Every structure is written in structure tokens, then in C-alpha cells.
Amino acid sequence: MSAAVIARGTAASRIAAIAVAAIISLLALAPQFLSAGAVDRMTALFIYVILAAMWNALAGFGGLVSVGQQVFFGLGAYFTIRLANAGLNPFVSLFVSAVVVGAVSWPISLFMLRLKNGEFAIGMWVIAALTHLLVNLDRLVQGETGTSLISLNVYDASTRRLTIYWLALASMAALLAVLFGLLRGSTGAAIRAIRDNEDAAASVGVRVTGTKRLLFVLAAFGIGVAGALWLATAITFQPKTYFNVQWTAYMIFMVLVGGIGTFEGAILGALLFFLIETWFGGAGVWYLIGLGATALVFSLLLPRGLWGTLEERFGWRLLSVGYRVRLPGIAENPAGAIAAPAQSATSREKA
């Protein structure tokens, strides 16, 4: 047998793992040094990261492009309202709600996963619109008048702000960890195989439908957490705000700009989106035009997104879920090929 070794990480990725742990610890301490407004903004950032990571897992890794993920965002908020109204502690409600969202997504997956590509994408939008209408029928919600998570009012503003900040940070860290573990394992390889060719995946023993369902439900749960957390920061619940397709548009923007199909890309995209919103969010309609133009420029010039481009050009792999074969005595070039002629040609081109 060859003495080839399978490498999962690089020196850079081990440093990255430590850096991620350090950043999360620092973020946990950060509220002591931040203004109330900044704490709220950071909470929003954590929610954006969750949204981007979940949409990226679904579309970038699993090939399940959906433009209806706002359905789970809205339901996350809606079930929180319902559970809190039934007397459950509002903070506990946030997470029980997300579990309910995951449970609801399972029967939805039974028929939605039969659809392919564009049909699935638009079908999810239809599901979102339909769910929006159903939620409007609930008397508690009072149609588009909406309602509030009033039971949060028993906590003073500062406690509330900090608790939600920490819950959002913890949720983000936990969901990223779960996602990374899943995508890095053999199930992750199956997920990517299904994305690339479903028939071929089935022909080599991958359980296609079950694997897609797992990913779909996990993404629904994660986006449910995000919706519930958003409600906790905003307090008010108006269905049209939460079931708005703009949420999925933001997810797509973050993932496309950051780098679809790379774990780092979604996080980077969320950070960029957050900065753009922070700096230009006040510019009204021009802000939206700017977002659209940015997305357009990226999809035309950098279709792999920022991280995807950097990864390809410099061989950067920080939170990589891939596998590298190391053969003894053969040096690897940055693009990851083992001294293959075609690749060295491209390297020359770039040099």
C-alpha cells in the first residue's frame, strides 16, 4: 500500500481553530466594553452569521437553493410568540420554538425534496407565502397589526440586551460547530456528492433523500433560532417583516459575496454585509441598489466569492471540510494539486 497520508487540516487551520476560540471568548467579554447600541449591533451580526451559514450549508454544500428560507425565520419568531403566550419563559421559548420549527420542516421536506433545482427554490417561496398567510389568521397575531413578545418586559432593558447578546453568541458558536462537524464528516462528503450529482451519489451508496432531509431540517432549525433571536431583539412581531423574502435575499447576498460552498465564506459574507449595513444602511433606497450592484459585480467577476477566490489563488484553508492526500516526497503547490501539469500551467498564468 502507498504511504499516502490524508490531511484534514493545515498549520493555518490549527491556528484558525485557536483564533476562533479566542474570538468567541473575547466576544463573550465584549459587552463590558461596548455601548448598548453596539451590543445590539453585534447581536444582529451573530444572527446574520447564523443565517449565512445555514443558507450556505443548504445551497453551497447541499445544492438545495431555496428562496423561501424566510418561512423558518418567520416561524421561529411566531412559535416564540405562541409559546411565550402559553406561559413559557420567553428565553426558553426561543429555543423550544426553534425545535418546533425543525419538527415542522420535516413534513415540509417530504414533498419539497421531491422538487428539483428551480422548482424547489420557487416552491419554498410559495411555502413561505402560504405560511405567512396562515400565521396572519392567528387571532393572537392580529393580522398585520402584529403583536409583541411582551413577557420579555419583566426583565429590565440592560439584562435583556445582555442575555440576548450572549444567547445569540452561544447559538452562533454552537450552530457553527454542529455544522462544521457535520460537513467535515463522511455525511458532509455525501452532502457535497449529492450537490454535484444526485444519480452518481445514489449509485455509490449515498442515501440521497435521507441526507438531504437531515440538512434541510438542520437548516430550518438554525434559521428558526435566528428568527426567534431577532424577535427577542425587536420585541415586536409583524408577520410581513419576518416572512419577507428580503431575509433570504440577505442570506444569498452574504453567501455569494463571501464565497458559496466554503465554510469561511459564509462567515466572511455575513461580516461584510454587516459592515455595509452599518455604514450605508441609512442611505435608504440607494443602500439596496448598492447591495444589488455589489451582488451583481461579484457574480460576474468573482463567482466563487471573496473567500473562494482567495482559497483558489493562495491555497488558504482555515475551516476546511475537505480532504488532502499527501504523498511522500512530492511537494504540494498552493492550489493543492500534486505537481500536476495542468495546474502548474494555471499557476504560471497567475504568476
Partner 1 sequence: MNASPNGAILSAAGIHKRFGALVVLDDVDFAMGADEAVGIVGPNGAGKTTLLSVLSGAYPPSAGTIAFKGGDVTALPATQRCRLGLVRTHQVPKPFGGMTAFENVFVAASHGAGLGRDEAYEEALASLKLCGMLGVANRRAETLGLLDRKRLELARALAAKPTLLLLDEIGGGLTDGEAGELVETIRELRRRQIGIVWIEHIVHILLQVAERLICMDAGRIIADGDPQAVMADPQVIGAYLGGGPK
**List of residues contacting partner 1 (CB under 8 A):** 1-2, 4, 6, 186, 189-190, 192-193, 195-197, 199-208, 261, 322-325, 327, 332, 336-340, 342-343
- Cα 182 from Cα 215, distance rounded (Å): 9
Q: Report the nearest approach of partner 1 to the CB of residue 331 (Å).
A: 12
Distance CA 316, CA 314 (A): 5
User: Could you tell me the smallest distance in angstroms from the CB atom of residue 66 to partner 1?
Assistant: 19
We find the least distance from the C-beta atom of residue 179 to partner 1, in angstroms, to be 18
Give dist(CA 282, CA 132) in Å, integer.
Answer: 28
Phi, psi of 236 (to 5 degrees): -85, 145
User: Smallest distance from the beta carbon of 51 to partner 1, in angstroms?
Assistant: 23
Closer residue to partner 1 in complex, CB, 185/290: 185
Q: Looking at beta carbons only, is 288 or 338 nearer to partner 1?
A: 338
Task: Output the DSSP codes for 257-281.
Answer: HH-TT-HHHHHHHHHHHHHHHHHHG
Looking at beta carbons only, is 213 or 324 nearer to partner 1? Answer: 324
Which of residues 122 and 337 has its CB atom nearest to partner 1 in the complex? 337
How far apart, in whole angstroms, are the C-alpha atoms of residue 140 and residue 2?
A: 66
The runs of H, that is alpha helices, within the chain are 11-29, 36-55, 70-85, 90-112, 117-137, 157-184, 186-196, 198-203, 208-234, 239-242, 246-258, 263-280, 285-301, 305-314, 341-350
- Which CB sits closer to partner 1, 8 or 240? 8
CB of 196 to partner 1, least distance (A): 4
Pick 32 or 203: Cβ nearer partner 1: 203
Closest CB 197 distance from partner 1, rounded Å: 5
Tally of CB atoms within 10 A around 322: 16
How far apart CA 8 and CA 243 sit, in angstroms, is: 39
Nearer to partner 1, 1 or 301 (CB): 1
φ, ψ of residue 69 to 5 degrees: the values are -70, -15
CA distance 124 to 129: 9
What's the min distance (Å) between Cβ of 58 and partner 1?
15
Q: Which is nearer to partner 1, 248 or 320 (CB)?
A: 320
Shortest Cβ distance from residue 201 to partner 1 (Å)?
7
Residue 314 in grid coordinates: 493562495
